[in-house]
Chains A and B, each alone.
Chain A
Amino acid sequence: MPPITLATLKPYIIMVLIVGIGPLGVGYLVLLERKLMADMQARLGPMRVGPQGLLQPIADAVKLLLKEDVIPGMVDKWVFWLAPCVTVTTALAAFSLVPFSSEFVVTDVNIGVLAILALSSVGVLGIILGGWAANSHYPLLGSLRCTAQMVSYEVVMGFAVVAVLLMAGSLSMVEIVKAQAESHRWFLFGAFPFGLIAFFMYYVAAMAETNRSPFDLPEAESELVAGFMTEYSGFRWALYFLAEYCNIIIVCSIAVTLFLGGWLRPFPSVKLLGWLDYAAPVGSSLLVGGLSLYLVKRQPRAFDQIVLAAIGLAFVAVAGLFAWPAFNELFRGVFWFIAKIMVLVYSFMWVRFTFPRYRYDQLMRLGWRLMIPLGIVNVIAIGIVLVLRG
């Protein structure tokens, strides 16, 4: 047994942080999505709980936890119980392989990408089994759709990932980011323009894998009520929801790691842009903090004013911390990583509010007739480019 030190405890601490903060983060992701949707549809969105509706996720969480645990009579009991657990466990476990920065990574295994894809493919089983166990028509249809969709788009995603692996020469998430630092470019622009094609394919496949609109057929609410989770309610439903949003963060962080340079800042090899490491985190935190403090006076209730002022001051404090070199050195990677994830998540939501849902045969045609052949050609093309450039 090695002695217990901070270094040996670090992975556990990070994992506990992720599992602890993850659900809260997911709650705020949902709030962000509702707010964005409201904004794009010229509404206000949730405004009642807390200042500008900022405490809505906490109210939602309490509501879901206190709800009665309903198990319909004709369901297959233990599969019904097992399915959401499988989905949420694999989704949270996958975070252990995500390198938030060169320091903040729970474990760096040398099959990192494969391991994350494997975990997510086990998570899909939870959705399929949940739909089957409910023993009702709509969930079954939802999980049938989910199955076919996953199997098709996993292939697309595989080809997109292989394209990056060719450029990086490693399966480890940390090594892939390091390879991008060494080649002085994000793999998005590697083997130009084939890296871009791979990213596009990954992006579409990721949307299909996470059941996001325009590929949200497994839970198409206008046709299937709620798809595979129709019979779920209360806490079990919350588990599915948690897993879904965790998976969105996971696929985005794979995309960031594979294509967008992971924890590296934009133009990592240009020394002149070093000030970005300070300007970006300090500036964005100050912006958010300042905006919160500016809005304090507009709040109608005293409680809301206090909460919003506290939030504003907290962001100003974070800005101060990032201006401190030692802290900045340690956390700038995490900042860039999370900033890139947020950009991707925002684009996911944007797509959701913009495009109508695909019909099922259109989805399959897109996958098998367009994306998979494109993927094969793309991998071969990248191989040729890499050989030609030596």
Chain B
Amino acid sequence: MLDQFFFYIFAAVILLGGLLTITRRSAVHSAIFLIATLLGIAGLYLHLQAEFLAGVQVILYVGGIMVLFLFVIMLVNLDQAARQRQFNRQWWLALLAAAAVCGEALYGLYRGRGAFSFPGAMPGNVPPNTQAVGNALYQNYMLPFEVASIMLLVAMVGAVVMAKKRL
């Protein structure tokens, strides 16, 4: 009962935040609602008893990435851009595509509705899963993890090289 209650609260926060993110005019307002969405997702992680993921989600996404987003928004003058005439000539195509994807998702959900149920709370205290995450990343999936890290590093160096004219 309580589980469902919190699930719906977080789901509502995520969906509302997402909607407001794409509908607000001001970029900073959008960013604020995106932060609300990300916090809601952290709440869902907590709800699934993945506390480490929840903490990392808040520190990295809210404390790091969103702060950088805001930094960039404040540096460039978006107000002027927002005041210019907005145009999107392909809106009907976009609408069609969105409707198709939406229908597909709804159909999938409808077919798989039997699997939707709230798992009961685990009996007793769940052991801390920080170690489990560490073991998975650094032992079981060492190679993919390192490959992903190197890819990120390459992307970062590439961005610096492209942005700086003289190195």
Contacts and interface: CB of A to CB of B under 8 A. Distances in A.
Interface residues of B, number: 25
A132 interface: yes
A122 interface: yes
Nearest to B131: A169
Given A111-B52, A111-B55, A114-B59, A125 B74 contact: no
Given A111-B130, A171-B128, A118 B71 contact: no
Secondary structure of the B side of the interface? helix
A122 B58 contact: yes
Contacts of B28: 76, 79, 129, 132
Contacts of A114: 52, 55-56, 59
B130 A125 contact: no
Contact of A115 (B35, B55, B68, B74): B55
B130 A171 contact: yes
Contacts of A151: 64, 67-68, 71
A365 B70 CA distance: 22
**Main SS of the interface on chain A?**
helix
B91 to A, nearest CB: 29
A128 interface: yes
A147 interface: yes
Interface size class on chain A is 20 to 34
A109 interface: yes
Interface string B57-71: 011001110111011
A114 B42 CA distance: 13
B43 to A, nearest CB: 12
A111 B51 contact: yes
A295 interface: no
Nearest to B66: A125
Nearest to A78: B29
A117 B59 contact: yes
A140 B74 contact: yes
Most B Cβ at <10 Å: residue of A82, A119, A122, A140: A122
Interface string B65-81: 01110110011000000
B32 interface: yes
Interface string B28-39: 110010010001
Interface string A131-171: 01000000010011001101100100000000000000011
A140 B73 CA distance: 11
A150 B56 CA distance: 17
A24 B28 CA distance: 34
A121 B63 contact: yes
A124 B62 CA distance: 10
A118 B63 CA distance: 7
A144 B75 contact: yes
A110 interface: yes
Given A117-B55, A122-B63, A129-B70, 7 more contacts: A79-B28, A79-B29, A82-B32, A109-B51, A119-B58, A124-B67, A144-B75
